[in-house]
C-alpha cells in the first residue's frame, strides 16, 4: 500500500488465504477474469452488484480467496483490488459482518449500550434490514448497512448505480422511526482514501433526495472508513457526511 502504512490487526476481520493476480476484465456484474501470478487464468465470482467504476480497472493488482466446495462452480472470489491510493474491498458481504462485529465490540460510539445484535431482521412483508440492536427497557435501533467503494478526488459517494432497493430501505427506516424506533443508515467506505462522503446525486438523484428526507425525518446517518491490508480489515474512523 502507498497511501497508508498502518495495518489492520486489532479488532479486525481476517481475510482467508489470498491469491494475487492481475485483473483482466470484470463483466456480467458477477464475473471477473484474473491472471494469477502463477500464470493461470481464472474466472472469479465478483460479489458486488454495483458498477464498480472506481475500482475495476483492468491491469490492477487484485486478491482472490479460494473456496473448494463441491457445489461451487467458481472456486475463486474477488476480495480486494489495489488502487493507486488504497487497497479497496469489493466484497459486499464484508460490510455487514464488519459493522456487526464492531458494534458488538463497542467500537461504534454512536451505537453503544445495546444488549443484543441480530442480523437480517424482517420488518414488514417483503422488507428486511441488516441489523437490529435490542435493549432491555429501551428503544431498539434498526441499522441498514451500505458498502461504498466509489471515491472521486477524496470524496466517497453512494450509490455507484441506480438503486431502487436502497431507496426502499430508506422509506422503511423512516416508517420505523415514525413508530418510535431509533434507526440508522450506516455507510461503510471499504477503502482509506476518502475524507468526506455525499450522496451521488448525478448517478441516482432519487436516492440522494430520499437520503436527505430520511435524515430530516430522524434517521441517523453514520459514515465510517476502514483500515485495510492483506491481513484483515477493521473499522477506522467517522467520515464527514456532506448532505
| Domains recognised in the chain with CATH numbers | 16-89 (2.40.50.580), 94-241 (3.40.1350.60)
45 vs 35: CA distance, rounded Å: 14
Q: Give tens-digit pLDDT for 103-136.
A: 999 999 999 999 999 999 999 888 999 999 999 8
Q: Give tens-digit pLDDT for 29-62.
A: 999 999 999 999 999 999 999 999 999 999 999 9
Distances (CA, A) of 53 to 26, 58, 196, 200: 10, 11, 19, 13
The model carries a pTM of: 0.93
Q: Give tens-digit pLDDT for 140-158.
A: 999 999 999 999 999 999 9
Q: Scanning the structure block, which residue is given the C-alpha cell 418510535?
A: 180
Q: Which residues contact 189 (CB under 8 A, 6 or more apart)?
A: 148, 149, 151, 156, 197, 223, 224, 225, 226, 239
59 vs 83: CA distance, rounded Å: 10
Q: Which residues contact 121 (CB under 8 A, 6 or more apart)?
A: 128, 129, 130, 131, 132, 142
Q: Scanning the structure block, which residue is given the C-alpha cell 501470478?
A: 37
Q: Residue 1 pLDDT more than 90?
A: no
Span 200-206, mean pLDDT? 98
Amino acid at each position: 500500500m502507498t497511501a497508508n502504512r498502518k495495518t489492520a490487526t486489532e479488532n479486525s476481520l481476517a481475510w482467508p488465504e489470498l491469491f494475487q493476480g492481475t485483473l483482466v476484465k470484470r463483466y456480467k456484474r458477477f464475473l471477473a477474469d484474473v491472471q494469477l501470478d502463477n500464470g493461470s487464468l481464472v474466472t472469479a465470482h465478483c460479489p458486488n452488484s454495483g458498477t464498480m467504476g472506481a475500482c475495476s480497472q483492468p491491469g490492477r493488482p487484485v486478491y482472490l480467496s479460494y473456496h473448494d466446495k463441491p457445489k461451487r462452480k467458481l472456486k475463486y472470489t474477488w476480495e480486494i483490488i489495489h488502487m493507486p491510493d488504497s487497497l479497496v474491498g469489493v466484497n459486499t458481504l464484508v460490510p455487514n459482518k464488519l459493522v456487526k462485529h464492531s458494534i458488538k465490540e463497542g467500537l461504534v460510539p454512536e451505537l453503544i449500550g445495546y444488549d443484543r445484535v441480530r442480523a437480517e431482521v424482517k420488518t414488514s412483508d417483503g422488507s428486511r434490514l441488516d441489523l437490529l440492536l435490542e435493549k432491555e427497557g429501551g428503544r431498539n435501533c434498526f441499522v441498514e448497512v451500505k458498502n461504498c467503494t466509489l471515491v472521486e478526488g477524496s470524496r466517497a459517494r453512494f450509490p455507484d448505480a441506480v438503486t431502487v432497493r436502497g431507496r426502499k430501505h430508506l422509506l422503511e427506516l423512516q416508517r420505523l422511526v415514525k413508530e418510535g424506533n431509533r434507526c440508522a443508515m450506516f455507510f461503510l467506505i471499504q477503502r482509506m482514501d476518502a475524507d468526506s462522503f455525499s450522496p451521488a446525486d448525478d448517478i441516482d438523484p432519487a436516492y440522494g433526495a430520499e437520503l436527505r428526507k430520511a435524515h430530516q425525518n430522524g434517521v441517523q446517518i453514520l459514515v465510517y472508513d476502514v483500515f485495510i491490508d492483506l491481513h484483515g480489515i477493521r473499522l477506522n474512523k467517522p467520515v464527514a457526511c456532506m448532505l
